[in-house]
């Protein structure tokens, strides 16, 4: 396979020129303290898209001071006003869907149709949390001895550091920024180095929507440890919310211990996708395609291990391979593209290593299995069967368009295999038997379960994992609680 991608067009250059390139601190765009910048690449071609300011520890301290200074006023701002700002930002993002989608596609690579889907999903968090800002509750209890009253109220945690990954350059950010702002927390946001441009556009939208200076700062950087390390040690910070790999999350938890920060950790996954003999096989194949290839497989909720009951395993693998081999690979801006490039060379090479390791352990490549000839970081959509339990791909997040298919005989065996991982983000089960669906949903060690659905993400649902997939929840009623502390007030019986 050879892929010859179009280079950056005039239209794309015009849009990129309009994206702010500075650091956003205290309501203004400015250069980094040391004047440094770093480049952002088009993963479909390796072309340079833009340079953005490169924040250092000094910029982190300035942004944190702005967040500290703005915190009391923002916390005291009427919830309805905070809600209105988020609502205006929601409408602005939806109105500018084409700009946001194109910037996402340019810097992250996914097809434009998927980028539009991400923009809608991301905007939903602004809408949802604009609605939650005015619903922060407390309560009034009578002590068991009847002698006092126990009042509880929820107050903003305080200045929060938000760190996001590159795979959903907008949605992983609004999922944090919207509840933080709704709760009355000020925030400093560090986007991923590969995809800072989408975040710059969002900062512009929030500022135009009326967000007061200092409430949100945005600091792209090429030195995440150098920026974040000192911030975690700074007593002005009260919370860190992170989405990314388990390895980085573990380090941040150690750093957060210094100041006993509130933490939210949305980490890696190793999702099992179970297909039972009694499943609707058409639906299961379509669900697996979605759970595997959405976002090019570069998703924490991607189906990492597809486990199929022996009665339907051969037919399922054949049908999945047939569908996957027809997927059109190309630059995300090209009409008809269904799978874009991977984010960078390192991720692409890592996927190849995992496939090669599985093949060395006895697996068969049914379709795909290599990187096409191109200037970008493409990888062929791939199905492999006969993967051993000890292969690296069985235990590590593949984060690419590779579907390993395994076989099982009994329900208990499937559950044991599904749970045999240090991760616990999401799992999926396809069956027509409601009893089995509930048994399996209860037995899976995961924060989320998709029953006869290959997609669980929804702004109104609590997203998050168990085990080494993380701490806390984003979205739903739970998402705002991550940015609120409960205060209890004791008062004598009136
Ligand atoms: P990553 O390498 O852990 O990076 C995530 C973020 O952390 C980026 O902004 C990164 O900056 C920053 N970072 C890296 N090293 C750091 C350090 N030492 N100190 C502070 N910040 C640091 O993850 P990724 O490759 O971007 O994303 C893929 C991972 O995210 C996968 O494991 C996926 O499962 C997980 N993920 C989880 C969820 C969820 O909701 N559970 C959602 C999406 C993704 P740079 O960009 O500069 O490296």
Query: Does 175 lie in the same domain as 302?
Result: no
Assess if residue 264 is contained within a domain.
Answer: yes
Q: What is the pLDDT of residues 463-484, one digit of tens each?
A: 999 999 999 999 999 999 999 9
The catalytic residue among 266, 380, 397, 411 is: 266
Is beta strand 484-492 parallel, antiparallel or unpaired with respect to 148-156?
Answer: antiparallel
How confident is the model over 117-121, as a mean pLDDT?
A: 98
Query: Does 381 lie in the same domain as 264?
Result: no
Q: What is the pLDDT of residues 302-335, one digit of tens each?
A: 999 999 999 999 999 999 999 999 999 999 999 9
Alpha-carbon distances, residue 71 vs 68, 87, 136, 227 (angstroms): 5, 21, 18, 21
Closest CA to 305 of 246, 368, 361, 389: 389
Assess if residue 200 is contained within a domain.
Answer: yes
Alpha-carbon distances, residue 82 vs 23, 77, 136, 387 (angstroms): 23, 7, 12, 51
Query: Does 348 lie in the same domain as 247?
Result: no
Task: Compute, in degrees rounded to 10, the torsion defined by CA atoms 4, 7, 12, 14.
Answer: -170
Query: Does 72 lie in the same domain as 100?
Result: yes
Query: Is 266 among the catalytic positions?
Result: yes
Query: Per the structure, how many domains does the chain have?
Result: 2
Q: Are 268 and 246 in contact (CB under 8 A)?
A: yes
Residue 43 confidence (pLDDT): 98
Distance, in Å, from the CA atom of 311 to the CA atom of 364, rounded to the nearest integer, reads: 19
The number of the ligand 1 atom at minimal distance from the alpha carbon of 343 is 25
Residue 1 confidence (pLDDT): 80
Say if residue 33's pLDDT is above 90.
yes
**Region for residue 27 given its phi and psi (left: phi exceeds 0; alpha: psi -120 to 50; beta: otherwise):** left
> 197: Cβ–Cβ under 8 A, 6 or more apart, which residues?
16, 19, 40, 49, 50, 52, 103, 106, 107, 169
Query: Does 221 lie in the same domain as 207?
Result: yes
- Taking the model in full, what pTM does it have? 0.98
E strand segments, 342-444:
364-367, 382-385, 402-408, 426-430
Q: What is the CATH number of the domain that holds 141?
A: 3.40.605.10
The number of the ligand 1 atom at minimal distance from the alpha carbon of 194 is 46
Assess if residue 493 is contained within a domain.
Answer: no
What single-letter DSSP state applies at residue 226? H
Say if residue 301's pLDDT is above 90.
yes
Assess if residue 5 is contained within a domain.
Answer: no
The number of the ligand 1 atom at minimal distance from the alpha carbon of 221 is 47
Q: Is 243 in the pocket of ligand 1 (CB under 6 A)?
A: yes
Length of the chain, in residues: 494
Q: Separation of 265 CA from ligand 1 center, angstroms?
A: 10
Assess if residue 250 is contained within a domain.
Answer: yes
Q: Give the number of other Cβ atoms within 10 Å of residue 456's Cβ.
A: 20
Q: Is 54 in the pocket of ligand 1 (CB under 6 A)?
A: no
Q: How far apart are the first and last CA of the chain?
A: 78
Residue with CA closest to ligand 1 atom 12: 224
Closest CA to 221 of 201, 249, 199: 199
Query: Does 91 lie in the same domain as 31?
Result: yes
Residue with CA closest to ligand 1 atom 17: 225
Q: What is the CATH number of the domain that holds 448?
A: 3.40.309.10
Residue 474 confidence (pLDDT): 98
Query: Does 300 lie in the same domain as 258?
Result: no
Q: Are 475 and 433 in contact (CB under 8 A)?
A: no
Say if residue 6's pLDDT is above 90.
no
The number of the ligand 1 atom at minimal distance from the alpha carbon of 195 is 46
Q: What proportion of the chain, given as a percentage, has pLDDT over 70? A: 100
Residue 5 confidence (pLDDT): 85
Query: Does 240 lie in the same domain as 308?
Result: no
Say if residue 461's pLDDT is above 90.
yes
Residue with CA closest to ligand 1 atom 30: 244
Query: Is 95 among the catalytic positions?
Result: no
Say if residue 36's pLDDT is above 90.
yes
Query: Does 404 lie in the same domain as 362?
Result: yes
Assess if residue 464 is contained within a domain.
Answer: no
Query: Does 188 lie in the same domain as 97?
Result: yes
Assess if residue 465 is contained within a domain.
Answer: no
Assess if residue 384 is contained within a domain.
Answer: yes
Q: What is the mean pLDDT of the chain?
A: 98
Query: Does 296 lie in the same domain as 253?
Result: no
Query: Does 282 lie in the same domain as 255?
Result: no
Q: Separation of 248 CA from ligand 1 center, angstroms?
A: 7
The range of the structural domain enclosing residue 323 comes to: 271-420+426-458
From 197, 244, 266, give the residue whose CB has the most ligand 1 atoms within 8 Å, as the site to mutate: 244
Q: What is the pLDDT of residues 403-433, one digit of tens each?
A: 999 999 999 999 999 999 999 999 999 999 9
């Amino acid at each position: 396979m050879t892929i010859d991608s179009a280079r950056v067009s005039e239209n794309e250059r015009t849009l990129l020129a309009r994206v702010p390139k500075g650091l956003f601190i205290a309501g203004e765009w400015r250069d980094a303290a040391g004047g440094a910048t770093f480049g952002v690449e088009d993963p479909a071609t390796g072309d340079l898209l833009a340079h953005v300011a490169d924040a250092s520890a000094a910029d982190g301290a300035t942004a944190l001071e702005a967040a500290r200074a703005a915190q009391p006023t923002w916390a005291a701002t009427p919830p309805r006003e905070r809600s209105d700002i988020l609502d205006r930002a929601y409408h602005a993002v939806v109105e500018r869907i084409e700009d946001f989608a194109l910037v996402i596609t340019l810097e992250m690579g996914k097809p434009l149709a998927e980028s539009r889907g991400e923009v809608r999903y991301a905007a939903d968090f602004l809408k949802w949390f604009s609605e939650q800002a005015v619903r922060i509750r407390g309560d009034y209890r009578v002590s068991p001895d009847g002698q006092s009253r126990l009042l509880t109220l929820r107050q903003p945690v305080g200045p929060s550091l938000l760190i996001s990954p590159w795979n959903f350059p907008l949605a992983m950010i609004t999922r944090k920024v919207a509840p933080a702002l709704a709760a009355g927390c000020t925030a400093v946001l560090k986007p991923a180095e590969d995809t800072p441009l989408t975040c710059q556009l969002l900062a512009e939208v929030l500022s135009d929507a009326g967000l007061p200076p200092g409430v949100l700062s945005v600091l792209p950087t090429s030195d995440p440890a150098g920026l974040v390390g000192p911030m975690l040690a700074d007593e002005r910070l009260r919370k860190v919310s992170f989405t990314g790999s388990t390895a980085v999350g573990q380090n941040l938890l150690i750093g957060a211990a210094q100041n006993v920060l509130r933490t939210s950790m949305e980490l890696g996954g190793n999702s099992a996708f179970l297909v039972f003999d009694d499943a609707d096989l058409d639906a299961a194949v379509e669900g697996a395609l979605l759970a595997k290839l959405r976002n090019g497989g570069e998703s924490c909720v991607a189906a990492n291990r597809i486990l199929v009951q022996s009665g339907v395993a051969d037919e399922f693998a054949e049908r999945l391979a047939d569908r996957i081999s027809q997927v059109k690979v190309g630059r995300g801006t090209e009409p008809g593209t269904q799978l874009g490039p991977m984010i960078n060379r390192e991720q692409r090479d890592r996927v190849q290593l995992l496939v090669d390791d599985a093949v060395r352990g006895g697996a068969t490549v049914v379709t795909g299995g290599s990187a096409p000839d191109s200037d970008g970081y493409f990888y062929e959509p791939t199905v492999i069967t006969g993967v051993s339990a000890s292969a690296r791909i069985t235990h590590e997040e593949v984060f690419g368009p590779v579907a390993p298919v395994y076989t099982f005989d009994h329900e208990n065996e499937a559950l044991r295999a599904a749970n045999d991982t240090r991760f616990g983000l999401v799992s999926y089960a396809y069956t027509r038997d409601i009893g089995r669906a509930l048994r399996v949903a209860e037995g899976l060690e995961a924060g989320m379960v998709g029953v006869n659905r290959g997609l669980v993400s929804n702004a109104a649902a609590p997203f998050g994992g168990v085990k080494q997939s993380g701490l806390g929840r984003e979205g739903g009623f739970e998402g705002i609680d991550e940015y609120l502390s409960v205060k209890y007030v004791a008062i004598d019986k009136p």
